[in-house]
Amino acid sequence: MTRVVVTGGCGFIGSNFIRYLFEHEPQIHVSNWDKLTYAGNPSNLTDLANNPCYEFKQIDIAERNAVRDAMRTYKPSVIFNFAAESHVDRSIHDATPFVITNVLGTQTLLDAAKEFGVEKYIQISTDEVYGSLGDKGYFTESTPLAPNSPYSASKAAADLLVRSYVHTFQFPGLITRCSNNYGPYQFPEKLIPLFIANLMANQSVPVYGDGLNVRDWIFVTDHCSAIYAVWKKGRVGEVYNIGGECELTNLAMTELLIESLGKPKSLIRYVPDRPGHDRRYAIDCSKMKGELGWSPSTSLENGLKLTIQWYRDHQDWVDHIRSGEYRQYYAKQYSSLTSSNTK
């Protein structure tokens, strides 16, 4: 039985990844370490509550003693570090939790993993560490790091720590850098779930700036299969770029969502741009394809269909989140955007 730690497993990608592991790896025990911030929702995994091969521990990865104790007790052979503060807009408001969780938390995990002899450590990073592209070109694994937001800067710092532990301590670390994910269980502060939720409620959707920023979209299950491939076949010390090969402007994505939900274009509302807004992300994932035999397999059409259906079937999940802390946060911090987010 392989003993695996997934940090941040109550969040969007982590919860999808834990489910993916149980579907693809019969001999596995998963310990989910999550602090349960605003983005962590244990109900994302209620279907696993009675699974004897699954456990949940409320742990802050930046708390050294808690992490050491848990590592000593559980003795995982593999760690997947998903835990992070993940929303760019929040990092613009206050970078502190980003540095604590994404940087100090990663270093704390690395130290404990090193001390207790973990066999593989996979750092879930982001394409945003590379900064912004112009109209042409792609991020490769050798593109220099040039993060532009406090979020991406904290993720880049974490990547460099992993790199340094590999180099200095022969630590068995690997790094994945993925483009923008979408799919079930994504917190409705990110573009796609926010817009689906607003449109379902006949509310307007706030498009930042001119709406021509480009993102490369990947369905979350394709990200999970890529991380799984990196675990099984990736080389220690390497970075692997993961992308959906699906570039769209935010406006094109917005129009697609509006059309899929049968709503009028008049619900588009242009709002002031995000400060420091990266113009374009695009991933070259030929290393994943050539070396690990992975490629994204969910078309945007299918992925969006599945995602919209999931949000339609889970209106109570959305309502619960939108009635609570999420609204209070935006009401306080983004009063200029709040009206557009919630109208």
Return residues touching ligand TYD (CB under 6 A). Answer: 88, 180, 190-191, 194, 206-208, 213, 215, 250, 274
Q: Choose the contact partner of 213 out of ligand TYD, ligand NAD, none; CB within 5 to 8 A by kind.
A: ligand TYD
Q: Taking the complex as a whole, how short is the minimal distance between the CB of residue 13 and ligand NAD, in angstroms? A: 4
Q: Choose the contact partner of 222 out of ligand TYD, ligand NAD, none; CB within 5 to 8 A by kind.
A: none
Q: Choose the contact partner of 84 out of ligand TYD, ligand NAD, none; CB within 5 to 8 A by kind.
A: ligand NAD
Residues contributing to the site for ligand NAD (CB under 6 A): 7-8, 10-14, 34-37, 39-40, 60-62, 82-86, 101, 105, 124, 126, 155, 178, 180-181, 187
Q: Taking the complex as a whole, how short is the minimal distance between the CB of residue 113 and ligand NAD, in angstroms? A: 15
Residue closer to ligand NAD (CB basis): 105 or 303 = 105
Residue closer to ligand NAD (CB basis): 70 or 267 = 70
Residue closer to ligand TYD (CB basis): 40 or 172 = 40
Rounded to whole angstroms, the Cα distance separating 127 from 129 reads 5
Q: Taking the complex as a whole, how short is the minimal distance between the CB of residue 116 and ligand TYD, in angstroms? A: 33
Cβ-proximal residue to ligand NAD, closest one: 11
CA nearest neighbour of 190 among 145, 137, 129, 126: 126
Q: Choose the contact partner of 11 out of ligand TYD, ligand NAD, none; CB within 5 to 8 A by kind.
A: ligand NAD
What amino acid positions are annotated as catalytic residues? 127-128, 151
CA nearest neighbour of 261 among 309, 189, 206, 318: 309
320-326: long-range pairs with CB below 8 Å, 24+ = 321/41, 321/187, 321/188, 322/188, 322/197, 325/38, 326/38, 326/187, 326/188, 326/189
State the pairing for strand pair 54-58/78-81: unpaired
Q: Taking the complex as a whole, how short is the minimal distance between the CB of residue 159 and ligand NAD, in angstroms? A: 10
Q: Choose the contact partner of 154 out of ligand TYD, ligand NAD, none; CB within 5 to 8 A by kind.
A: none
Residue closer to ligand NAD (CB basis): 18 or 199 = 18
Q: Taking the complex as a whole, how short is the minimal distance between the CB of residue 274 and ligand TYD, in angstroms? A: 6
Structure tokens at 23: 């579907």
- Sequence-distant (6+) residues with CB within 8 A of 325 are 38
Q: Is 202 exposed, middle or buried (0-12, 13-18, 19+ CB in 10 A)?
A: exposed
Q: Choose the contact partner of 62 out of ligand TYD, ligand NAD, none; CB within 5 to 8 A by kind.
A: ligand NAD
Residue closer to ligand TYD (CB basis): 67 or 129 = 129
Rounded to whole angstroms, the Cα distance separating 56 from 178 reads 26
Place of tokens 């509550």: 49
Cα atoms found within 13 Å of the Cα of residue 242, Cβ hemisphere only = 32
Residue closer to ligand TYD (CB basis): 32 or 86 = 86
Angle, helices 191-200/300-313, rounded to nearest 10 degrees = 50
Q: Taking the complex as a whole, how short is the minimal distance between the CB of residue 264 and ligand NAD, in angstroms? A: 28
* Size (the chain), residues: 343
Place of tokens 């998903």: 82
